[in-house]
């Protein structure tokens, strides 16, 4: 009896030691997904991240077609479909996992996500189709595994995603910071006609995107007190989007002249009638001063 009890304890101990540990993956709304956010140097432009990410994706997933776009907030996005190979060493020789990826860059962060994952076991003499990996994981997470391949498939998926994220971070961190070619200050007002405010917002969005793509700095402000000689020395271009300087000091020809020594002044159609009514600026032709006529007040790209 004693030997029988000891034998039973040995078997139970052996079972506990070999019992597989459940692989926990991110699972929302019955869908597997991986999404991580990383910090980036703000001096690295989003277009640089987009290009580095594009190169990394094409090298990491040969044959993938990367679609590069910008969203309404001017975040650069790379998206497409790819697949990864997962070895199991059990029933199947290996698995192909097909998925959709999305890599987006913002001002100070970038993110990498994998969704819509499908699995296809590759077995000798057997032809299989792709099926959603969620089906398998749902049963596996409820302790109803399909085959012995379940745990190695999910472990392999998690390990491969970790490897991809580390590789991506190394690629983005290797991007060199480029000094802006020139600096722009855009001034606008919020207490003017609604269509002029809309125009200013559209222009700011457009020039922000252009600055990221063409490597120049683009600052915006609704504080017209920045129109001073010390502040203007930091810029080669000043843009008045929907209004004009209100104080006599800000409208002084001396400030405009000093600005002309370093660069240019641009203003747009919404302030044309006020300038014509007389502040002396429009007739001061020596200064590089440009009036852009746009009507209706929407930016013509």
Q: What pLDDT, in 10s, does the model give residues 106-116?
A: 989 999 999 99
For residue 192, give the DSSP letter: S
Pair (38, 156) in one structural domain: yes
Task: Quote the pLDDT of residue 126.
Answer: 84
Task: Quote the pLDDT of residue 20.
Answer: 52
Task: Quote the pLDDT of residue 132.
Answer: 94
Residue where a domain terminates, one of 114, 147, 173 = 173
Q: Is residue 6 part of a domain?
A: no
Looking up residue 35, the CATH number of its domain turns out to be: 3.30.530.80
Task: Quote the pLDDT of residue 10.
Answer: 37
Pair (167, 33) in one structural domain: yes
Task: Quote the pLDDT of residue 124.
Answer: 83
Task: Quote the pLDDT of residue 300.
Answer: 43
Residue where a domain terminates, one of 173, 198, 232 = 173
C-alpha distances in Å from residue 162, one per residue of 168, 169, 227, 263: 10, 11, 50, 49
Listed residue (39, 176, 60) closest to 105, CA to CA: 39
Q: For residue 153, count other CB atoms closer than 10 A to its CB.
A: 28
Looking up residue 192, the CATH number of its domain turns out to be: 3.40.50.880
Range of the domain at 145: 27-173
Q: Is residue 138 part of a domain?
A: yes
Mean per-residue pLDDT pooled into runs of 10, the chain (301 residues): 38 40 77 93 91 96 93 86 89 88 94 96 88 93 90 94 96 92 89 84 86 88 82 81 73 53 53 42 39 42 42
Task: Quote the pLDDT of residue 251.
Answer: 62
- Is omega for the bond preceding 280 within 30 degrees of 0, making it cis? no
Residue where a domain terminates, one of 129, 144, 173 = 173
Tell me the CB-side half-sphere exposure of residue 237, using CA atoms within 13 A: 17
Give dist(CA 271, CA 261) in Å, integer.
Answer: 23
């Amino acid at each position: 009896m004693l030997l029988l009890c000891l034998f039973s304890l040995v078997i139970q101990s052996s079972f506990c030691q070999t019992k597989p540990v459940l692989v926990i993956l991110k699972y929302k709304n019955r869908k597997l997904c991986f999404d991580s956010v990383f910090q980036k140097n703000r001096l690295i432009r989003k277009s640089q991240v987009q290009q580095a990410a594009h190169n990394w994706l094409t090298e990491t997933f040969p044959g993938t077609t990367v679609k590069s776009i910008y969203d309404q907030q001017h975040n650069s996005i790379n998206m497409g479909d790819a697949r990864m190979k997962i070895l199991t060493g059990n029933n199947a020789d290996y698995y192909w996992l097909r998925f959709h990826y999305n890599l987006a860059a913002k001002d100070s962060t970038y993110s990498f996500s994998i969704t819509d994952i499908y699995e296809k076991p590759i077995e000798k003499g057997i032809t299989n189709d792709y099926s959603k990996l969620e089906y398998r994981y749902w049963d596996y997470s409820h302790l109803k595994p399909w085959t012995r391949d379940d745990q190695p498939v999910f472990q392999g998926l998690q390990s491969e995603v970790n490897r991809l994220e580390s590789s991506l971070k190394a690629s983005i961190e290797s991007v060199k910071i480029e000094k802006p070619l020139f600096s722009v200050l855009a001034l606008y007002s919020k207490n003017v006609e609604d269509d002029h405010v809309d125009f200013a917002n559209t222009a700011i969005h457009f020039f922000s995107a252009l600055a990221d793509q063409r490597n120049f700095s683009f600052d915006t402000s609704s504080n017209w007190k920045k129109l001073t000689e010390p502040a203007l020395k930091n810029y080669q271009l000043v843009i008045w989007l929907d209004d004009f300087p209100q104080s006599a000091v800000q409208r002084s020809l001396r400030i405009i002249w000093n600005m002309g020594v370093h660069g240019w002044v641009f203003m747009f159609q919404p302030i044309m009638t006020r300038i014509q009514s007389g502040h002396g600026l429009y007739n001061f032709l020596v200064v590089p001063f440009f009036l852009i006529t746009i009507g209706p007040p929407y930016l013509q790209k």
